[in-house]
Structure 1
Amino acid sequence: DALQALKTGKVDISGNISIELYRGLQNSISAKEIFSRPLFIWYDYICCPQHATAFALRQMAVNSIPAYVDRCQFFAILCPHVRHEADNVLLNKRNWASRGWCRMEQMAQELSTKQRCVSIEIHGATHVVEAPTYGWIQAPVGGGQFTLPSDRDKLAPVVQDMVRRKLHAYLARGDLASYRMMLNMQNVHYRNLPLNPVDDILPGYVSNNQDPATALMENFMYQNGFDSIDQRTADGWSPMCFAALDGRPLLLAALLDNGADVNDRVTQQSSSNNFGLCPLVHICAFLSHNEALQLLIDRQADVKARDGYSTTALAWAGFSDNVAGIHALIAAGADPTMLDMIGYAPFALASSAGAISSMTALLPYTPRQQIDKSLLFTMLQGGGSAQVVSTLVALDADVNHQASTPLLSPLGIWFGCLSLRHQLNESKLSAYAYHYEGLTPLMCSILTSSYEATAVLLGVGARTDLRNARGKTALDLARDRVFVKEIIEQVTIIIGIYSK
């Protein structure tokens, strides 16, 4: 139904506000582009043998999944709101993203050799959006849910082969920056899988050193193409920064013992990764390298350091739902009430990522005002699920809170610029900024297409008569977006699903 609606022009692929927020990119794909030439559709479930006795054929199919995904120009995620008939479990995008097999396919898409493979989410026949892809490193295959735990063993060699092929592809085209990122993220990608990092991509390293730490450090320097600990790439990355990505305490300790700075940081901003201007503690906290994080703390790292957006390591830990990291940082003196440059505390960052466990850990330190602000922020960042919004409502967040920000604050200046752009080049983010003053959570859910949040807010009695500074109600904003039928349909479906 969704494909038919797209093909006939009844609906189009809408942009994703979080993609624009993090990458500065507006909608990059349209239905017209998809159907500009004949399509061949590969559907994983149909193309993989499902019979219980087809072991050999099924393993061959599993091994070939990355090759099929690699040939795809478009990667479609079918994630409508439905209940599973057998066990009554609610199925949606978050359920899809929690499954180990789905994570493997998403990883295959991210490691594709194609320069451009666009992901789209199909939530219903009239609700199709471009899918953000930058969060995939937080969802390693081994951390996903498997009906059969033994499936991790089947997928492990497939995952490692994908990583190895991508590393060789980066080297072949001389992309050393991406090569180093992938090389040192292996411990994240292999988490909960029976795998060790590939440490011989560049042949020729020979060591006679009997000390394991020194041998590890020397090979690390060789594989990354560094000659000295003080060296730094054009993107501002030192060996110590890459070691924080790697996360092995023995490696970090060896570098520190040889003169590396425990308070080192990435010195340049970059659109190619999320770690621009980040201190080491931020990187370790975000990637849940908690033994490495504790080592840095023990070596007197500054746990109150801020990144380029004045965000603390505690906020990064909250965003990635790293509860152990939160406890370690607070025990070391990190302040959970410190705000970033636009006025948000770590709790708000955790809620924006849908990190319920981190929200619980940070709640005792969070002022009431931050809980109210989190309702808006969680939808802007793409974390406005029914569970998160219901949690905030249960914490007495004001469902009729109206947003306001000083004109000359960093957020006010940024939104002012976006509002000016809105007159010439409208997007989801510019519309959010244009209507921000006086915006209620219900209005925000409409502007960000967070329809689960819309359903929850209507269910708890959020007011529909309130107007923002532009004189608009939530219904006005729905009409302005020309998607009022889609919104009503999606909210009705979600209310029906959650009321069962």
Structure 2
Amino acid sequence: MGNQGFCSPEPHTGDAPAKPVHPCHFPMYVVKVADFLQMDGPPEAHHALLRKGLLHQWQPGLFVIFVSHQWLGRSHPDPDGQHASILRRSLEGMIQGTLQAEYEIEDEAPRRRRLLEPSSIGQGYLFLDWFAIPQITARAEGVNEEATKTDAARAVQSIPFYVEVSDVLLALVPELVHTETGQYCNYTSWFSRGWCRAELWCHVLSNKRDKIVVVVHSTLEAKFMQSWDWQNNIVVDGEFTVESDRAVVGSLGRRAIESKIAHLSEEGPLEVYRYFLARKAAMLGQASKTWDMNGFLERFKFPSMELAVRDTSSMNAVMCAVMSGDVMMLRLLATYAADLNFTIYGLNSLGFRDSFTVLMAAVKSNQPASLVASLIHLRADVSRRADIGDNAACHVKRPEHVQVLLQARADFHTAHEPFCFTPLAQAAGMTSAPTLKALLLARCDPNPSQSGLGITPLIGLIRFARGSPHALESAALLLEYRADINASQMKFQPKGWSFCCCLVTAQYGSKALLGGWCDDHASSCEVSYL
């Protein structure tokens, strides 16, 4: 059992990383997708599948789907087989073409689907921790507990390697209830877990050219994860059952991002290298780094300050300073007449649309209010809008952003074509509840006149807040400020708001919030629970 097997990959084969970041201490065991589809009921443990000959040791060239999930029991991950049933039916749908992963906003779904061919899935392999790792709680009779503990510990230490070499990370996050605690387990709770975040980071920060993350919400709904989702959920801020795991998992995240930066420094692309170097401190939960001029030019690979200021690439010197949170460097660049109002391009895959301004990027990336204020003081234009009509106010992430932009007389009330989002409608599902409260206190209208896509703040919350720990509190705030619960989305939601209410109960696992409100407004509320 302690044999290293195929832990060490052979020379580069296919898309397997030639130099894995993380070490492997225990063989990676996987199950054929075809065999998994023939199983039934709760998943069997490692020793049972090993005895049946259904486990295979990973080797380079295998197409592997790493299943990341939240346990539904304390001693068994899926006591009633609910996760396994949904996973089987979802995989069958992907193979048969009846279930396709969709992209929420950015139009990259066609390219990503080509990397997720039905034939690859059907002939592929699954990694599931219960299958792959010797479990102390379910060891075979006669097997020494200490040996099982040792193997299990080595396997757990190898999880970063397992997810790194997998081709797809599949987050299995249907709305289910923990069998012992009674708490809802879903996308929001999965994203809150430190280990789940670590698995995600080890995959997306691997040196593989193509990284695919598919989120399965149900047998009818699968989505490609947006890049901003994982960047917003840093590892060290996750929840841990064992608090000492925080430091261990934090070191995994640090190793992953430092290796990513080193790889990009050698192999490129340069703009992605600069981006992750600039974002490193924030992604590790550390204080922003202040660079001296020579250190800034050297690390971000600018030949001189004069050439840095003239650089028009997507991660030019201004963007490097902004993403680093470095106010002093930003001010220095301004003395060299750097353009603080240039239009960003080429960073879609990192979460910034073409047509974004530097100010919008600073606000969306949750830079300190002092940096946002410095940009404005240095003449960054608060009135500029991007391609869908949004301005910096649409992307606020903290109450201080609201205050700084209000002082600069940014427009917090107007909806602009073509989408016609008001800042409150766009921010509702993408910001914290305290920030939403700041917008409401700034007299942003919870019931704006509808045009364009016709998305009100409540509908915006439903459409964009999946996975947010603030969603319920934000919904309560909007209802407190008399947001119209029966408003319908003009363009895409002919059944109106009652359908969105159903989405709240299905997505966030609580009838109490809207149910209590509707009990008090029975004559006007059209809620029908799923």
Using the size of structure 1 for normalisation, the TM-score is 0.69
Letter in 1 for 2:363: A
Letter in 2 for 1:271: N
Partner residue, 2:170: 76
- Which residue, 132, 139, 154 being the options, matches 2:225? 132
Partner residue, 2:456: 373
Distance 2:170 2:324 in 1: 31
Partner residue, 2:402: 326
Distance 1:35 1:304, change over 3 A: closer
Aligned 1:410-489 pairs, distance under 5 A: 435-436=492-493, 438=494, 440-443=496-499, 451-452=506-507, 460=518
Distance 1:403 1:183 in 2: 41
Distance 1:238 1:118, change over 3 A: closer
- Which residue, 260, 277, 284 being the options, matches 1:183? 277
What SS does the aligned partner of 2:169 have?
strand
- Which residue, 391, 416, 420 being the options, matches 1:312? 391
Distance 2:489 2:350 in 1: 30
Query: Is 1:351 equivalent to 2:428 in the alignment?
Result: yes
Deviation of the 1:149 alpha carbon: 4.7
Number of corresponding residues = 413
Partner residue, 2:299: 223
1:6, 1:12 within 8 Å by CA — same for their partners in 2? no
Letter in 2 for 1:377: G
2:234, 2:284 within 8 Å by CA — same for their partners in 1? yes
Distance 1:289 1:55 in 2: 44
Query: Is 1:264 equivalent to 2:349 in the alignment?
Result: no
Partner residue, 2:381: 302
Over residues 141-160 of structure 1, what are the superposed CA-to-partner deviations in whole Å (9 max), with x where a residue is unaligned? 12323345543322333222
What SS does the aligned partner of 1:77 have?
strand
2:322, 2:371 within 8 Å by CA — same for their partners in 1? yes
Letter in 2 for 1:154: V
Distance 1:267 1:116, change over 3 A: closer
Over residues 75-124 of structure 1, what are the superposed CA-to-partner deviations in whole Å (9 max), with x where a residue is unaligned? 12232323445554432211111222221211112112233343233445
Distance 1:98 1:390 in 2: 21
Distance 2:268 2:349 in 1: 16
Partner residue, 2:113: 28
Distance 1:13 1:162, change over 3 A: farther
Identical aligned pairs, as a percentage?
20
Partner residue, 1:419: none
Partner residue, 1:204: none
What SS does the aligned partner of 2:214 have?
strand
- Which residue, 215, 225, 231 being the options, matches 1:121? 215
- Which residue, 112, 121, 127 being the options, matches 1:41? 127
Distance 1:443 1:90 in 2: 21
Distance 1:166 1:454, change over 3 A: closer
1:80, 1:93 within 8 Å by CA — same for their partners in 2? yes
- Which residue, 407, 418, 437 being the options, matches 1:360? 437
Distance 1:4 1:269, change over 3 A: closer
What SS does the aligned partner of 1:28 have?
helix
What SS does the aligned partner of 1:75 have?
strand
Partner residue, 1:280: 358
2:264, 2:272 within 8 Å by CA — same for their partners in 1? yes
- Which residue, 468, 488, 492 being the options, matches 1:402? 488
2:288, 2:325 within 8 Å by CA — same for their partners in 1? no
What SS does the aligned partner of 1:76 have?
strand
What SS does the aligned partner of 1:112 have?
coil
Distance 1:252 1:133 in 2: 29
Over residues 429-466 of structure 1, what are the superposed CA-to-partner deviations in whole Å (9 max), with x where a residue is unaligned? xxxx6x55x451245678x9994389869954999xx9
Distance 1:45 1:92 in 2: 22
Distance 1:218 1:384, change over 3 A: closer
- Which residue, 248, 251, 255 being the options, matches 2:333? 255
Distance 1:394 1:234, change over 3 A: same
Deviation of the 1:297 alpha carbon: 3.8
Distance 2:182 2:117 in 1: 33
Structure 2: 5+ residue runs without aligned partners? 1-84, 138-145, 450-454
What SS does the aligned partner of 2:158 have?
helix
Partner residue, 2:87: 3
Letter in 1 for 2:507: E
- Which residue, 413, 421, 431 being the options, matches 1:337? 413
Distance 2:99 2:500 in 1: 16
Over residues 213-240 of structure 1, what are the superposed CA-to-partner deviations in whole Å (9 max), with x where a residue is unaligned? 7x622222222222323232444x4211
Using the size of structure 2 for normalisation, the TM-score is 0.65
Query: Is 1:144 equivalent to 2:261 in the alignment?
Result: no
Over residues 228-263 of structure 1, what are the superposed CA-to-partner deviations in whole Å (9 max), with x where a residue is unaligned? 23232444x4211221111122322332344334x3
2:170, 2:213 within 8 Å by CA — same for their partners in 1? yes
Distance 1:217 1:55 in 2: 52
Structure (1/2) with the larger helix percentage: 1
Distance 1:186 1:92 in 2: 29
Distance 1:58 1:360, change over 3 A: farther
What SS does the aligned partner of 2:171 have?
strand
What SS does the aligned partner of 1:352 have?
coil
Letter in 1 for 2:496: T
1:312, 1:340 within 8 Å by CA — same for their partners in 2? no
